[in-house]
């Protein structure tokens, strides 16, 4: 079996980002609200379907609205201020705030202002984000490898590096794969690096462009060409093409999202050889489905 020999040293497998304290918070909140309070349970049992077929849970929606609002307010807000910001009445929010205080998610100061406690932070750290990502992704990656008969891997951006978190091997006797724990410079010759960068929000894209280009003062034409390439990836939804590092390999790469944005890249390493049975378009469709399934389970809405 062919295998990569990147020559880079083993990464620090903490692989955390600045978003660690926030990752999956909405999922945790939904879990801890779930049918625990009689008032919430009653509201959820009477939930009606919306026009697009999804179920509505008004009480849960109000609770999440309050938490997300207060997450951006360092000094807290009063009941009247919260009601005004959310365009709701103080009466319909009072009981919700009381429940959140009683459950420890909010604290109420003597002047009446409500603030977030560290409860969400504590819950997030009970379930480390890398463990969460791997727990969700690995079963899908393994199923994908068996379906397309090609190896695949999952990569993340960490400390100016591209770190391979997981790999699923092809069941066929010949394949190409990248070992878990390998890490590479976060440059534009890596499909995963391009995909992770292409789906960054506008305020963070310049930072990722600089990392991809590598040089302190890259040529203007090269920078413009890379910007166009990232825009094409973003419009298409994925990246695909001959590997920049291994002849005969086609890289197919899709982004993986959580509730806050792009968190990883899933890559099928398609090796062209005599016994290849799954075409590149078929592998692409299967990888798209796997990446979408992982993203949904991580909380993408």
Nearest to 204 by CA among 139, 132, 262: 262
Which CATH number belongs to the domain containing residue 157 in this structure? 3.30.450.40
Q: Compute the distance between CA of residue 15 and CA of residue 261 in angstroms, rounded to an integer.
A: 17
Query: 8 lies in a domain?
Result: no
Task: Return mean pLDDT, the chain.
Answer: 82
Q: What is the mean pLDDT of residues 89-102?
A: 94
What average pLDDT does the segment 7-30 reach?
Answer: 39
Does the pTM exceed 0.75? no
Q: Are residues 278 and 145 in the same domain?
A: yes
Taking only the tens place, the pLDDT of each residue in 271-286 is: 887 777 889 999 999 9
Whether the pLDDT of residue 2 is over 50: the answer is: no
Say how many residues make up the chain.
Answer: 301
Per the domain annotation, does 291 fall within a domain? yes
> Do 31 and 119 fall within a single domain?
yes
Specify the number of domains making up the chain. 2
The Cα–Cα gap between 264 and 72 comes to 25
Whether the predicted pLDDT of 14 surpasses 60 = no
134/110 same-domain check: no
Do 71 and 183 have their domain in common? no
Q: Does 69 share its domain with 151?
A: no
Q: Say if 19 falls within a structural domain.
A: no
Instruction: State whether 161 and 83 are in the same domain.
Output: no
Per-residue confidence band for 41, with pLDDT thresholds at 50, 70 and 90: very low
**Segments forming the whole domain that contains residue 70:** 25-126
Q: Are residues 111 and 88 in the same domain?
A: yes
Among 126, 151, 169, the domain boundary falls at 126
Residue 264 lies in a domain: yes
pLDDT tens-digit series, residues 195-221? 999 999 999 999 999 999 986 677 888
Same domain? 32 vs 181: no
Q: Is residue 28 predicted with pLDDT exceeding 80?
A: no
Q: Are residues 117 and 175 in the same domain?
A: no
Picking from 126, 157, 185, the residue at the C-terminal end of a domain is 126
Same domain membership, residue 280 and residue 152 = yes
Percent of all residues in the chain with a pLDDT value above 70, rounded to a whole number: 80
Q: Looking at 70, 94, 126, which one is the last position of a domain?
A: 126
Q: What is the CATH number of the domain that holds 53?
A: 1.10.10.10
Q: Are residues 82 and 192 in the same domain?
A: no
Write out pLDDT tens, residues 157-190.
988 899 999 999 998 887 788 888 888 999 999 9
Is the Cβ–Cβ distance between 230 and 197 less than 8 Å?
yes
- Based on the fold, state whether residues 154 and 284 are members of the same structural domain: yes
Tokens standing for residue 275: 């016994």
For residue 241, what are the contacts with CB-CB under 8 A and spacing of at least 6? 191, 250, 251
The predicted pLDDT at position 48 comes to 52
């Amino acid at each position: 079996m062919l295998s990569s020999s990147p020559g880079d040293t083993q990464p620090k497998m903490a692989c955390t980002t600045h978003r660690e304290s926030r990752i999956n918070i909405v999922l945790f909140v939904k879990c801890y609200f779930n049918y625990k309070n009689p008032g919430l349970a009653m509201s959820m049992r009477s939930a009606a379907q919306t026009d697009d077929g999804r179920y509505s849970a008004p009480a849960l929606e109000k609770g999440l609205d309050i938490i997300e609002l207060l997450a951006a307010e360092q000094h807290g807000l009063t009941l009247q201020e919260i009601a005004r910001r959310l365009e709701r009445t103080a009466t319909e929010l009072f009981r919700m705030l009381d429940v959140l205080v009683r459950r420890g998610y909010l604290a109420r100061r003597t002047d009446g202002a409500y603030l977030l406690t560290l409860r969400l932070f504590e819950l997030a750290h009970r379930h480390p984000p890398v463990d969460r990502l791997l727990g969700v992704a690995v079963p899908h990656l393994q199923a994908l490898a068996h379906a397309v008969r090609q190896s695949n891997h999952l990569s993340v951006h960490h400390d100016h590096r591209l770190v391979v978190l997981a790999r699923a091997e092809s069941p066929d006797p010949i394949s190409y794969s990248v070992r878990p724990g390998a890490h590479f410079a976060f440059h534009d010759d890596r499909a995963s690096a391009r995909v992770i960068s292409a789906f960054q929000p506008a305020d963070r894209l310049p930072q990722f462009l600089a990392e991809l280009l590598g040089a302190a003062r890259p040529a203007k034409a090269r920078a413009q060409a890379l910007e166009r390439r990232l825009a094409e990836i973003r419009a298409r939804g994925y990246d695909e093409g001959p590997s920049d590092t291994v002849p005969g390999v086609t890289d197919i790469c899709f982004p993986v999202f959580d509730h806050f944005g792009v968190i990883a890249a899933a890559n099928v390493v398609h090796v062209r050889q005599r016994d290849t049975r799954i075409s590149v378009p078929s592998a692409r469709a299967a990888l798209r489905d796997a990446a979408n399934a992982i993203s949904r389970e991580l909380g993408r809405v």
